[in-house]
Amino acid sequence: MKILAACLLAALLVAPLSGQGKEPRDGHWVGSWAAAQQRGDSGNAPPQPGFADTTLRQIVHVSIGGQRIRVRFSNEFGTAALHLLAAHVAISAGGAAIQPGTDRALAFHGQPDVTIPAGAPMWSDALDFDAGALSDLTVSTYLKGAPADFTTHPGARTASYLQAGDSVSAADLSEAAQTEHWYFLSGVDVWARRTAGAVVVLGDSITDGRNATNNGRWPDDLARRLRARRSTAEIGVLNAGIGGNCLLYGGLGPNALARFDRDVLAQSGARWLIVLEGINDLGSRAPPTPEELMGAYAQIVQRAHAHAMRVFGATIMPVGGSFYSSAPLESARQKVNRWIRTSGQFDGVIDLDAATRDPRNPERLAPAADSGDHLHPANPGYQIMADAIDLKLFRW
């Protein structure tokens, strides 16, 4: 009996803390939501109260659901450590409110707080939590401050809330300031069956959803289409778009080649990649040649193939009538699109140019796809883009 008691005590002493330890054998982590990160500046700094002694509540729209989740935070552009004193997750009730009874504390190696080193991401421990497919989650963090070089995704297109003091478990943040940026938050994974996987969409403002409302980006529409079919219902969609982004030089945020490992290869359960980039390169003051863009696409394909990902090239959409519009740009766009369609470099082609152009004036977006700036769609145009994707591409 003494030996048995000693063994039981030893087992208790080495037992993992709640949420830690080995995961079940019959599944794996799959990304359900993601946002590409970049260095913040004065244009996307938070309103008062800022990050000092502040609760930051952010809303994310997940794609696939699960009963076990983990949340990824990011200090990847910080030049000093970021201390999260507390972090909670709940089901959104709209605005800054959470559904009663759904608030749960996140832990980090069993602890309620975590210090994230400069330049690093950090996953929370796994948490038993019922995250429904295509649902809105709130992630609330309590901060005492943040590095001057903060990490953000400026194009949230949904309100985030900042309120002074520690209110991570509050049912609502009635006195909160609002801003349409995400800060320090880069991913939500769900524990899913081995047959589940994720598609990453690498893009610019068109993928990030400029002019979209109410989760009307084309990756959101793709997630809804995938969910509606039994054969694709377990495929998560991860939006790695950054407004103003380029494949090669200039633009906003790290260029696509520079951010590829972090925003694509590091995503959990990623099996497929859609690439829709290049218009900002072609529209820059010193644009790369079409051949240079082709070389960048080829690099992306090689790097993804090295990690057993299938890569689909999306043709560059028309921009006639926009501030980018010019004869040299149009000539280069056509040359790049011909290469995407015919080179054989990609595992599949998604012809968004053909899907969105005006048949009577193919250098322009069709009126049904145009938000009015002749460059970005709005919700109906984004739906046209998502509807143009053959879901048979996502077989394995």
User: pLDDT tens digit string along 137-165?
Assistant: 999 999 999 999 999 999 999 999 999 99
User: Are 253 and 242 spatial neighbours (Cβ–Cβ below 8 Å)?
Assistant: yes
295: in domain: yes
Is 2 within a domain? no
As a whole number of angstroms, the distance between CA 111 and CA 153 comes to 27
- With cut-offs at 50, 70 and 90, classify the pLDDT of residue 12: very low
Q: What is the DSSP secondary structure assignment for residue 203, as one 8-state letter?
A: E
d(CA 261, CA 255): 12
Q: Assess contact for 104 and 88: CB atoms under 8 A.
A: yes
pTM over 0.85: yes
Distance CA 122, CA 78 (A): 13
| Domain assignment present for 18 | no
pLDDT for 10 equals: 39
Residues 284 and 387 in one domain: yes
Q: Which of 53, 66, 41, 191 is nearest to 123 (CA)?
A: 191
What's the domain count of the chain? Answer: 2
Give me the chain's average pLDDT, please: 94
More confident residue, 12 or 214: 214
Q: What angle do CA 189, 190, 194 make, to 5 degrees?
A: 115
Question: Which of 144, 169, 187 finishes a domain?
Answer: 187
Q: Are residues 242 and 352 in the same domain?
A: yes
Give whole-number Cα distances, 214 to 60, 139, 239, 309, 378, in Å.
Answer: 12, 18, 15, 30, 11
Mind listing the pLDDT tens digit for each residue in 354-381? 999 999 999 999 999 999 999 999 999 9
| pLDDT of 9 higher than 60 | no
Q: How far is CA 68 from CA 62, 83, 111, 123, 233, in A?
A: 13, 25, 18, 14, 17
- On whether the CB atoms of residues 325 and 374 are closer than 8 A, the answer is yes
High-pLDDT (> 70) share of the chain, %:
94
Determine if the peptide bond prior to 49 is cis (ω within 30°): yes
Half-sphere exposure of 118 (CA within 13 A, CB side): 7
**Statement: residue 18 has pLDDT above 70:** no
Alpha carbon distance 217, 223 (integer Å): 10
* Phi and psi torsions of 126, nearest 5°: -65, 145
Q: What is the mean pLDDT of residues 91-101?
A: 98
Is residue 273 located within the same domain as residue 155?
no
Confidence band of 116 (pLDDT split at 50, 70, 90) = very high
In a domain, 219, yes or no: yes
Pair of tokens at residue 32: 């359900």
> 44 lies in which domain range?
28-187
Q: Give alpha helix (H) positions in the chain.
A: 2-14, 205-208, 218-228, 256-260, 279-282, 290-305, 327-342, 352-356, 379-387
Confidence of residue 395 (pLDDT cuts 50, 70, 90): confident
Compute the 3-state secondary structure of the chain and give helix, strand, coil in percent, each to the nearest 5: 25, 30, 45
Q: How much is the pLDDT for 26?
A: 86
Residue 307 pLDDT greater than 70, yes or no: yes
Shared domain check, 169 and 206: no
8-22, 82-96, 222-236: range with lowest mean pLDDT? 8-22
Question: What was the pLDDT predicted at 11?
Answer: 38
Shared domain for 84 and 139, answered yes or no, is: yes
Q: Is residue 168 part of a domain?
A: yes
pLDDT for residue 8: 39
- Asked whether residue 45 is assigned to any structural domain, the reply reads yes
Give the SS3 label for residue 78: coil
Q: Does residue 35 form part of some domain?
A: yes
The pLDDT score that the predictor gives to residue 5 is 44
Q: What is the mean pLDDT of residues 72-92?
A: 98
Decide: 30 and 190 in contact? Cβ < 8 Å.
yes
What is the pLDDT averaged over residues 326-336? 98
